[in-house]
């Protein structure tokens, strides 16, 4: 904890309590402690993240040989919510979430949301002012095969209904509440999209890369079909607030498709490959009577 925070009378315990509350999506009153928490987030998270990104872009300008920079953004910067509890019919890269709303409500993952939004805005502003060709790829939950020694957080997030991880389960429920579905992309498609945006002459602005999005009920059925020991029961639909009267939006990557991109993997492949890899690595226990799971063909 910084000396500046200590001088203002905000103890480590105060900040930790506030951060725990924010992480679980509890509304935070506008108390002096909350204001100090916000200042801490600005000075210790948001400003360093922005400076780091600008430093990279500044180095690109100095090098004089960089033709284009691809910024990796997140679907957490978007929302499908409209007024009066309704949802947008289509979710795409233009559906930006209000920064004021994030500061005010402090939803699950609010610090990450602010970091992505503010860093991206600063990057585009610097790029315009300094002649850098910057494009942004907006990614949803990315899953599928992995080479890392531990299971990537995004895959743990997708499989949290199976594992029961309380923190990641809460994040997944928050994603579902914001969109009415869980948007997904295969890791190979995410890599291919980065390459396309780096090379396509017409690439400009922001592009959402999502194979689609499933409601909680559909996702539960898909997880159960790939991992038979999983029995979702009623909890998933209750916690994820599946409202049959409020249809989920169409998750659209039309701008990316119009640029020439083609998805190689569907949402089913994302779940299938994630479960198969986690079984192979021992993150999930092998179901009785089933010894192998194959990855989707490239």
Q: Which residues are catalytic?
A: 116
Per the listing, tokens 């559909």 go with: 218
Per the listing, tokens 């995004």 go with: 154
Contacts of 236 (CB under 8 A, 6+ apart): 161, 216, 217, 219, 220
Tokens representing 78 are 């978007």
Question: How far is Cα 3 from Cα 207, in angstroms, rounded to an integer?
Answer: 41
For residue 271, the number of C-alpha atoms closer than 13 Å in the C-beta half-sphere is 23
The H or E element containing residue 184 is: strand 182-186
Distance linking the first and last C-alpha atoms of the chain: 48
Note whether 143 and 213 are within 8 A (CB).
Answer: no
The H or E element containing residue 167 is: helix 166-179
Note whether 273 and 227 are within 8 A (CB).
Answer: no
Q: Can you count the helices (H) and strands (E) in the chain? A: 14, 8
Contacts of 93 (CB under 8 A, 6+ apart): 78, 136, 138, 205, 206, 207, 208, 255
């Amino acid at each position: 904890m910084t000396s500046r925070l200590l001088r203002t009378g905000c103890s480590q315990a105060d900040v930790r309590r506030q951060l725990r509350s924010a992480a679980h999506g509890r509304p935070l009153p506008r108390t002096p402690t909350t204001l100090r928490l916000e200042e801490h987030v600005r000075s210790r998270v948001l400003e360093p993240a922005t400076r780091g990104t600008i430093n990279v872009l500044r180095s690109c300008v100095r090098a004089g040989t960089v033709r284009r920079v691809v910024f990796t953004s997140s679907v957490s910067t978007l929302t499908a919510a409209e007024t009066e509890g309704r949802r947008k019919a289509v979710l795409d890269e233009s559906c930006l979430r209000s920064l004021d709303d994030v500061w005010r409500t402090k939803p699950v993952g609010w610090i990450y949301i602010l970091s992505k939004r503010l860093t991206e805005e600063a990057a585009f502003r610097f790029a315009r002012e300094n002649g850098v060709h910057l494009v942004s790829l907006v990614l949803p939950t990315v899953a599928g095969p992995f080479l890392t020694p531990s299971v990537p957080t995004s895959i743990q997030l997708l499989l949290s209904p199976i594992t029961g991880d309380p923190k990641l389960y809460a994040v997944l429920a928050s994603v579902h509440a914001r969109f009415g579905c869980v948007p997904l992309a295969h890791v190979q498609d995410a890599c291919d999209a980065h390459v396309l945006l780096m090379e396509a002459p017409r690439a400009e602005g922001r592009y959402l890369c999502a194979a689609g999005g499933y409601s909680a009920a559909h996702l539960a059925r898909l997880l159960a079909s790939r991992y038979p020991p999983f029995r979702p029961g009623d909890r998933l639909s209750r916690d994820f607030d599946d409202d049959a009267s409020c249809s989920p939006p169409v998750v659209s990557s039309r701008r990316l498709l119009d640029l020439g991109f083609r998805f190689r993997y569907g949402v089913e492949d994302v779940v299938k490959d994630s479960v198969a890899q986690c079984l192979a690595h021992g993150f999930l226990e092998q179901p009785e009577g089933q010894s192998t799971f194959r990855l989707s063909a490239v």
